[in-house]
Structure formats: C-alpha cells, structure tokens
Structure 1
Amino acid sequence: MKREAGCLNREICKILGSLLLLLAVGLTASSWLMLAFISTDCTQPDCLQPLSEQEPPLTIFVSVASYRDPECKTTMQEMFAKAANPSRVFVGSVQQIYEFHEACWHTGLPWGDHIRTITIPFADAKGPTNARHLAAKLYRGEDYFMQIDSHTSFIQNWDNEVIAMLDRCPSDKCFISHYPPAHNDTGSVQVPVLCKSHFDEGAKMPSFEAMAFDFAPGEFADSPFAGAGFQLSSADVLLDVPFDPKLDMMFVGEEILYSARLWTKGWDLFAPDKNIVKHHYNRVETPNIYRDRTEEWYYPQQEANKRARFILGMNETAPPGETESSLKYYGMGDVRSLDAYWEYAQIDVKERVANSAEKFCKKRVKKREPEPEQSRPEPAVKQKKKPEKTSLRSMLSVHIPGFRRR
C-alpha cells in the first residue's frame, strides 16, 4: 500500500519531537548537576551577597578652584595617587586659564573620568568665591565634601583619614576647617587652629589667624572660623549653606561671611585633629588674578564687600535691587542668631574690636561622647523564622565565583 505524504510527515515530526525532548531533559539535568558540583573559593558572607544588597563605598566630592596654577596638575595627581581607594574620589574643578598647559587635568590621564571640569578663560574669571560657587555646581550626590586650594599636598590614605575623622568629630553637624600647615613644614605634626581675629582695614571686616597645638585622634578644638584652604564635612552642607554667586573678586570677607552662615545654620566648627593636607603659601612668582587684572578687580570687590557687610549686619545698606528677604538663601540661618555668633566669636562689629584669641587660642579639647548601650529585651515568644525563598540568581551567586547581580 502506498503511504500518503501527510502520514510520513507526521511520523518524522514525532521522531524529531522525541529527540528534542530528550535533548532538553539531558541539558537541564547536566546544568543542575554542574551547579551542584561547582566549587567556590568564596568563604566570606559578604562576597556571597548580590551587589544590590551590599553597602556601596562612601564617596568624597573635592572642590578645587584654580587660577593659572602650575601646581594644579601635581595636586590632582597626588590626590588620586595617595588615596587608599581612588575610585571613591570625585573632583569638581574650576580652572581659570590662559593656555592649555595651565589646565589641571585632561581626560586621558588616570581617573580623568572622575574629574568634572569647568574651564574659564582667565580674562573672564571673577575671583575665588565665584569659582567655589561654580565648583559646587559640579556636585553629583557624593557622601562627603572637601574643599582645597589647587596648590595642596596630601598625606597617604587621606580619604580613609577624613572619613574616620568625621566619625570621631563631636557633633552631628560637624564642619572641619583650618589653615593647613605649609608644604615645607616637614617636621611638625601640630595642628593649626583658627583662633585669632582682627579687623581688616581695607575690607572693613574681620580676618583671622591660626595657632598650632598638639592633638591626639578624637581631640578637636572648637573654632568660630572656617578657612577656605581646607574644609571637610558631610556633603549636606552644599545644599544647606550654598556658595553665594554674587561675591565677585572678594578675598578677605569670604571666610568670615561663610563662617557666620555655617554657625547660624547649626553647623559646629572645629579644627581637624590631624593634618590631612599641606598648603603652598607665598607663591609670589605665580600668576594672580589681582596682579593680572589690576584695573578690573577693585570696583567688583568693593560691591561684594558691601554685600557681605550687609548680610553680616555691619551697618551697611542693602545692595541695589536686594533686600533682606531676597538675600535669605545666601544669608544667615535660623538655628542660631547672628548676634549669638558675634558673641561666640568674641567680636564686636560696632566697635570693631576682636577678642577671639583670649577665648580660643588655648588648647580647648572636645571629644565625641560614647554612644549609649541600648539593651534589647528578649521577645516573650520567639517567632519561627520563615524559610527564605531560593532563586536561581541566589544559587548562581553561591556556586559561581565572582557572580554578582547586575
């Protein structure tokens, strides 16, 4: 009898289907057997956890404002070279330059993708305060904030040191700042503390100086002043006390204004308990905005000083178009009063008398109070723990070395 073509096709399909089914079963069984016998060198619980369940590394945002600084490249290179974990370091760099060789960095260098840069022709630069405002705009959600000058050197493992220092600090709103020691001061380990103040006759605002003391780790000296050359805190400060963009060419008044704003916003100011960086002072041969643009900086600086004196409550009229209400975002906080700040800093702005040294130029040590031990009472009835569900991803993370959830 002659077979029909349709019947022949059905038999072939049955045979092929059976073969495919056997192949699928065999592959599935071998896969599970392979998973069962794969070994792993991972013995620590944390490396068996999916990536999404691990704590991400703490990150540091470093603000660097540079004006035609030939040392800026060295500062950037050393910042990453001396970090224990350079992958956690991110930089907001504002470089005000004349030619490319004055640039701080370029993307071809190691860690170049961790540096966010705003480049300004030096003829358009508006001074250090404006540059710090622009650098802060490069912040992208890092955990900590640190500000340095572009001619700075670092201790080894500085990133670990600053995080540990903030953990030791005796305040939940800790702002650490001072004038770092000089770069050629190789022998001393004493920490400069901003403790002296006097009135600058040109700016008609308080300025300050430092004295050095010995401190052990965890010993912090409180200070009413924040220096611009080294600042360290939680990155919350960038949103809580934003840098004022309308202080063009300001120099002397920058630090006293920011100090008062920090303190009235509830931030507690301290010197570090250890020197993290050193600073190159007296750079008389390097380019300087006030020498490069001698005929351009004076008037904007006078206007900025007036603005600062008004915000500081120093018998100054409001800048044109500005009121106390319009300046509130860049003004004082409401946690502590401005009058309380002047009293704390021992400065009489009406009589222009500063007695800060009598109070702060002594070894004043504050330490973090130990955390109280909280007893956990045993529950009356212990609940039976529910068995955890096992997913294919969790099995893979256990049996395959290096597997992580993406």
Structure 2
Amino acid sequence: MNTPASLLSSRSESNVSNSPSALDRDARRERLKYIRKRSASRQNNTDNTPPITSSKAFVVLVVLLAIALSIQFMIVFNWHHGRHDTHVLGKSSGREALKDAFQKAAAVVQNALPSKSKSMGDAPPHFFPQVPPLPPILNTRSIPNSEQLIDDTLSGNPTIAGITLILANFLDEMHTSNSKLASREKPHRVQRDDVHEAFVSLAQTHLKPLEEIYRDKPIFPVRDDDSIFISLASFRDYLLGDTLKGAFNQAKHPDKLFIGAVVQNCYGLNPYPGEKGVQCRTGAQVVGKGPNGRDKTQVSDAPPDRNGIEEFCTSPLHAKYCENGQVRVLYVHENESLGPAMARYYASKLWGGETYFMQVDAHLQFYKNWDELYTNEIKSTKSYPKSVLSSYPPGFNEENGGVLNNESSGARLCTCEFSSSDVESDIIRINTGIGYHGGEEHPTQIPFIAAGFFFTPALFLVDVPFDPYMPWCFMGEEIMLSMRSWTHGWDIYAPRKNWIAHQYRPGRMGLPKFWGSVGRMFGRPGPGFSNELQLKLIKRVKHLVGYKECCTREKLQQGGDESVLIDVEHYAFGDVRSREEYLEWAKIDVENHRCYRIDWCNKGELL
C-alpha cells in the first residue's frame, strides 16, 4: 500500500512529548461540508422519514408559540385588571399586577420545559442532549441538531452526544466501505492491505480531528465526587445484561456509576428499514468427536443476539439509570467489529468527566459495595493519584445475575512470556505470580496492566489515550498499556482483594469470536483473514516495544508496512521514565525473547 508521506511521522517514538494542536479553519470547514453531505445522504436514504409535524423541532416550535401566546394573554389580562383596580376600585396595583403577570408567565415556561430526573438535575451541560440507549444503531439518528453538535465538538465545545455522533459516522462509513470491498469478485477479490487502507482513510477523516483537538487535555472537566465511569466493550455477549445489573445492584453509590458500553451484536436480517442485515451465526460449537478422538466443531445459523442494554433498561429496577443518562451506548454491527482494542477506544470516548475510569469485560460478577472498596483501595496506594489498580480477576462458572457473594485474596501480575503462537507473533503475554497472603497494610506495585480490568483516576486518559489505529489486534494491548502508563509516571498496583469475578471462556463454549465475523464479512470464513490483519497491525506494538529484528521503521518501510506507524508518536511512551528503564525494571529481554523472574513483584517489596 502506498501511504502519503504526510500521514507518517519520522519522529522518535521512544520518548515523545507533544503540545496540543488545533484544527485549522480550512480543515474544519471541509469537515463540516462532509458532515452536511453525509447527513443529507442519510436523510435521503431513510425510508421511514417521519413527517415534519411529528419531528421534535416542530413540537418544540408549537410549544414555544403556545408559551408566547400565554405570556401575552396574561400580561394583557393582568394589565387590564390593574387599570380596573386603579380607576374603578381606587387601588394602585399596576406594578404589582405586571409583576404578577411575569411570575405567572415564568411558571408557564417552567412547566412547559422538558422535565429532568432528579439525578439529571445537576448534570453538566455536556450531558445534553442525551443519547438514548435504545434502539440499536438508530439511537444516534434520533439526536437533534447532529451537524451542529459535531461541529461544536470539533471546535472545542464538546458534548457526549457530539462525540458519539462522530463515532457513529465513522462506523456508518465503514459499514458502507466494507460492503463495497466485500462485493469484489475474482480476480479483484479484496486483500488485507485494501481493508487496512480503507480503515486508515476513514480514521483520518473521522477520528483524527477528534484526537487532535483534545490532545494532552481532558475532553471534559473532571468531577471530584468519586463518580466511576465503566468502559465496557461487549462482543455478542449474553451476560451483558447481568453484568450491568450486578454493577448497579452491588454498588454502594449506584447514582455515581456511569456506563460507556460498546455493543457489538448481530442484529439479524432486516434489523431496521434500509438495512438488509446478515444471518447470524454461532461460534465453533463442539458437536461430537472426530475419528481421531478430537472435538468436532460446527458453526450454525443463530437468532439475533440478546441485547443486554435492552434487558437492563427495560427492567423496572434499572430503567431509571438509563433515563438518568447513566448508560451511554454505541452500537456496532458485528461484522464491523475491529477487535477489543478498538472497541475499548470507542468506549473510552464515552467518558463524561467522571472521577475514576474503570475498564472491564462484559461478563462479570460484582461483590457488595465494590465501588467504595476499589475507591478506597486506590486511595491507599503510595503513588495516588497517579496509580492504577489491575489484576486478572478470579473466574466463575455458575451464573448468578452479576452478583459475587464472596471476596478473595488478590493476585499479582508478576510474570510474562513471549508467545509461541504463530498468530500472536512472539508478542509479550502477561500472567499472574505470587498473590497476597493477607494482612498487608498497603497494595504493592506490579509491572503489568490487564486489559480486562483496571481502575484509575480519569486523568489517566490524558496521559495514556487509547490508540485509534489498533484494529483487529487481540494481543499486544496489555504490554502497551503497561509500558505507556509506567513511562508516563503512573505506578501500577495489584488490589489486595478481588471484588469482581470474570467468566473465562474456553473455545469449547462455542461462543462467537470477532475474528469469525471479520472472515465472514469479506467472504473468508474462519479466522484466517482476521489473522492476516492482526499479523500486520501487531507490528505497530512490536515497533514500540523494540523488536529490532522485524519492526524498526526502516524494516517496516522495506516490507511495505510503514502504514502501521501512522500517528504512532501520539500513542507511544512518556518522558517521565524511558522504555529501556521499563524493560530492565520488568526483567524483559526483547532481543532474546526472554522474561525473567521479577522478585520484587512476587515478594511485594515495592509500595
């Protein structure tokens, strides 16, 4: 693939400090033209466009007109009675009558305005307009003034709705682009680099402007109220609803809990007007034994996926949290899924200024008062507020509605290895070491962050923003999170107790995987085509970590893979501590592909 030189950086990625840069006026103007063109196209292609009399704008106009007429009537009516009182009854009440008229008019206006729930009453302005959590895909298309919200967000006046619309437009364009690529027939069948090139083009159009305008600063002011934002990426997950219910039911302060869910589901055939949809399929399910005694698997047709958001938001006990704007949702067609790293990028953008950022999977159980316990635990770390809690939670087999009945001693992430799997391309994988014995006064440091659970102050997102150029990567995100965090000055700790549990999912469960969806999308059933994409994109991680045998900039240029380094300097390491210091501290020998025993971690020596 030939990539424009302007998209590539020749700067060093080891220790980079960048000052924020704003979009220039011409770029914003072109972007706005594109948004308007896209919006008009979407409107013209919608089969069920409602009449203007049913639109929100029309209803608001009618309400405002009624308010104006009411105000005029009350002012004239009260003024007339004031004159009557003065001239007939001898009372001088003209000013009082006029004042009373305005007070009554104000009451009319107040009663006519849309009411907010108690919890939304003090919500910051960027919470509005609220993005409805339902229905899937169409939830963003009901947001009024979408063009203006996007333009405001890209001009430095962000709203959660504006950001969600930017992500939705990116996904809409990718939906169209992928369909065109998939329709190619031999001998012009779509290839790996075609798909990556199309992704990069769309990311540069939609995601890069958002990244640039808010680089090195929080998108929203950070609240100081111990609120928690949960970043929750879900791929066709039947436990999403239970996970949400468990999180809120078991929280001590559910009113301070906010969800950013990325729901990647199969919606079936004809899920909404204008979308033909796809036939949903299962994962590789075990259906028996083959002649050699090995499991025999089969992929079969399946009904549309359960929507855990709908299960949660229509529950009488939980609907209020959705109405209060505590559940923010971005829906993704399963065949547009780009893997966990990209889903977590989307979810991170749904953060709305909450005090803490927590990243988890969509199949969890929660212990009683888990929110207060993790908040107190991170405050007890020596490096707070620049500290991160992380672990591999214990597993569970028996489903219990998202409820964890017992806490357990925490484990430390103290070991690693270079993967021997061809698909994982020698990437560094992390694992547990010696856990806590009990009675420790403070959490102790570890060198690794688990992508499936970490808890940290939200300013972490400023120093370590999620990388929007990591599609199709199932491995590599954990070592990058660990190294980027530590070099930016964040210390990583293992919580002393487990207050969540995780459902670990071996292949025998037969659950759908994103790599199967990628293969079906491009007419290549199975994981092969997705693996081709991952093997290309994982070179971005290996370049940063320091795999000199394959992934220096020069070698990537020679192999035609330099495109994986687009904007890499913005998602590289910090300048508080260096890459080399991290590798020595974590006992990792990249050159010889060896991980050594980390005694200080296993012994809990570093506070």
Aligned equivalent of 1:189: 408
Taking the aligned partners of 1:126 and 1:19, their CA distance within structure 2 comes to 74
Aligned equivalent of 1:136: 348
The answer to whether structure 1 residue 176 and structure 2 residue 389 are counterparts is yes
Taking the aligned partners of 2:567 and 2:363, their CA distance within structure 1 comes to 36
* Pair 186,161 (structure 1): closer, same or farther in 2 beyond 3 Å: closer
* Pair 350,242 (structure 1): closer, same or farther in 2 beyond 3 Å: same
Aligned equivalent of 2:443: 220
Aligned equivalent of 2:205: none
Aligned equivalent of 1:102: 306
Taking the aligned partners of 1:163 and 1:151, their CA distance within structure 2 comes to 21
* Pair 267,365 (structure 1): closer, same or farther in 2 beyond 3 Å: closer
The answer to whether structure 1 residue 290 and structure 2 residue 522 are counterparts is no
Taking the aligned partners of 2:453 and 2:502, their CA distance within structure 1 comes to 9
Q: SS of 2:582's equivalent? A: helix
Question: In structure 1, which of residues 150, 161, 164 is the aligned counterpart of residue 373 of structure 2?
Answer: 161
State the 1:198 CA deviation.
1.0
Aligned equivalent of 1:229: 452
The answer to whether structure 1 residue 311 and structure 2 residue 534 are counterparts is no
Matches within 5 A, 1:228-267: 228-267=451-490
Per-residue CA deviation, residues 174-209 of structure 1 (Å, 9 max, x unaligned), is: 011110111259777221110011111232122121
The root-mean-square deviation of aligned C-alpha atoms, in Å, is: 2.9
Count the aligned residue pairs: 329
* Pair 14,346 (structure 1): closer, same or farther in 2 beyond 3 Å: same
* Pair 337,84 (structure 1): closer, same or farther in 2 beyond 3 Å: same
Per-residue CA deviation, residues 5-59 of structure 1 (Å, 9 max, x unaligned), is: xxxxx9x9478345759x99xxxxxxxxxxxxxxxxxxxxxxxxxx99xx97431
Aligned equivalent of 2:327: 115
Letter in 1 for 2:515: Y
The answer to whether structure 1 residue 152 and structure 2 residue 371 are counterparts is no
State the 1:105 CA deviation.
0.5
Matches within 5 A, 1:16-165: 16-18=89-91, 57-99=225-267, 101-106=305-310, 107-109=313-315, 110=318, 111-112=321-322, 113-165=325-377
Taking the aligned partners of 2:346 and 2:566, their CA distance within structure 1 comes to 24
* Pair 321,168 (structure 1): closer, same or farther in 2 beyond 3 Å: same
Q: SS of 1:192's equivalent? A: coil
Letter in 2 for 1:290: W
State the 1:326 CA deviation.
3.5
* Pair 187,81 (structure 1): closer, same or farther in 2 beyond 3 Å: closer
* Pair 362,16 (structure 1): closer, same or farther in 2 beyond 3 Å: same
Per-residue CA deviation, residues 375-400 of structure 1 (Å, 9 max, x unaligned), is: xxxxxxxxxxxxxxxxxxxxxxxxxx
State the 1:321 CA deviation.
4.8
Question: In structure 2, which of residues 567, 576, 581 is the aligned counterpart of residue 340 of structure 1?
Answer: 581
Taking the aligned partners of 1:14 and 1:297, their CA distance within structure 2 comes to 87
Aligned equivalent of 1:354: 595
State the 1:217 CA deviation.
6.6
State the 1:254 CA deviation.
1.2
TM-score, structure 2 normalization: 0.50
State the 1:291 CA deviation.
4.4
Please say if residues 540 and 564 of structure 2, whose CA atoms lie closer than 8 Å, have aligned partners that are also in contact. Answer: no
Q: SS of 2:411's equivalent? A: strand
State the 1:304 CA deviation.
1.7
Q: What are the ranges of 5 or more consecutive residues in structure 1 without an aligned counterpart?
A: 1-9, 25-50, 367-406
Please say if residues 347 and 356 of structure 1, whose CA atoms lie closer than 8 Å, have aligned partners that are also in contact. Answer: no
Point out the more displaced range, 202-211 or 271-280: 202-211
Question: In structure 1, which of residues 308, 326, 329 is the aligned counterpart of residue 567 of structure 2?
Answer: 326
Aligned equivalent of 1:206: 428
State the 1:351 CA deviation.
1.4
Q: SS of 1:336's equivalent? A: coil
Taking the aligned partners of 1:94 and 1:15, their CA distance within structure 2 comes to 70
Taking the aligned partners of 2:246 and 2:389, their CA distance within structure 1 comes to 21
Per-residue CA deviation, residues 297-342 of structure 1 (Å, 9 max, x unaligned), is: 1111111211100011221133545597931111111110000000
Q: SS of 2:229's equivalent? A: strand
Q: SS of 2:259's equivalent? A: strand
Taking the aligned partners of 2:91 and 2:407, their CA distance within structure 1 comes to 84
Taking the aligned partners of 2:259 and 2:591, their CA distance within structure 1 comes to 41
TM-score, structure 1 normalization: 0.74
Bigger share in helix:
2
Q: What is the aligned-residue identity percentage?
A: 30
The answer to whether structure 1 residue 272 and structure 2 residue 504 are counterparts is no
Taking the aligned partners of 2:416 and 2:224, their CA distance within structure 1 comes to 42
Q: SS of 2:445's equivalent? A: coil
Letter in 1 for 2:229: F
Taking the aligned partners of 1:357 and 1:214, their CA distance within structure 2 comes to 18
